[in-house]
Chains A and B, each alone.
Chain A
Amino acid sequence: GAVVSQHPSRVICKSGTSVKIECRSLDFQATTMFWYRQFPKQSLMLMATSNEGSKATYEQGVEKDKFLINHASLTLSTLTVTSAHPEDSSFYICSARVRGGRAKNIQYFGAGTRLSVL
């Protein structure tokens, strides 16, 4: 199956710093990537949809100035958590949809990034 690489797998940072998370589709092109957030024992919550070459679409309640998304190529999307605070501590997961796969909405998930803000 298709492989999505997410990096880093874990990051610990001080409050007020910014953290960048990368999501790469290794063996396929992904015109659309998605960013999720997951709290312990909860479902994945969609934060934003990232389209290559255009602005990301954010879900209601997600601050676009705090969670900056860049989808510069067909294989890379980045999520930057700006001025991180302890409440931003969470598990962030990206997924990538196979190009031309909108009909079935086939998505492949990254391994996730555990963010801990001190």
Chain B
Amino acid sequence: KNQVEQSPQSLIILEGKNCTLQCNYTVSPFSNLRWYKQDTGRGPVSLTIMTFSENTKSNGRYTATLDADTKQSSLHITASQLSDSASYICVVSDLRGGADGLTFGKGTHLIIQP
């Protein structure tokens, strides 16, 4: 069964600090991995998407890495801001396509404190 596990479940850091969120998956056959940011009461917004051949991808202060061999991904946030407070969801797509080809993690709830 395809699974996506995220850690930590929740995280509190001070404004300006860096943090790294983890995502481990067992999805096969792998197509791509995305990180989404979901503000409370809002829909997810895509941050990055990576395919098998991509090791790292950046989007401003967000940098995602992918190790397809170990099936691990991380999302690093640099110089955190209060607006970074949100849930970060790791979603892995397999080659079936369609929504049933997506496996969602439960997310990491990040709180940035002033």
Contacts and interface: CB of A to CB of B under 8 A. Distances in A.
B41 interface: yes
Interface residues of A, number: 28
Interface stretch (B12-20, B64-72, B94-102): B94-102
B31 interface: yes
Contacts of B100: 46, 49, 59
Interface in A4-36: 4, 6, 32, 34
Interface residues of B, number: 24
Given A41-B109, A42-B106, A43-B107, A105 B43 contact: no
A95 B99 contact: yes
Contacts of B36: 109
Nearest to A109: B43
Interface of A: 1, 4, 6, 32, 34, 41-44, 46, 49, 59, 91, 93, 95, 97, 102-112, 114
Closest 8 CB pairs of A and B: A109-B43, A43-B104, A34-B99, A112-B43, A102-B97, A111-B43, A109-B44, A105-B93
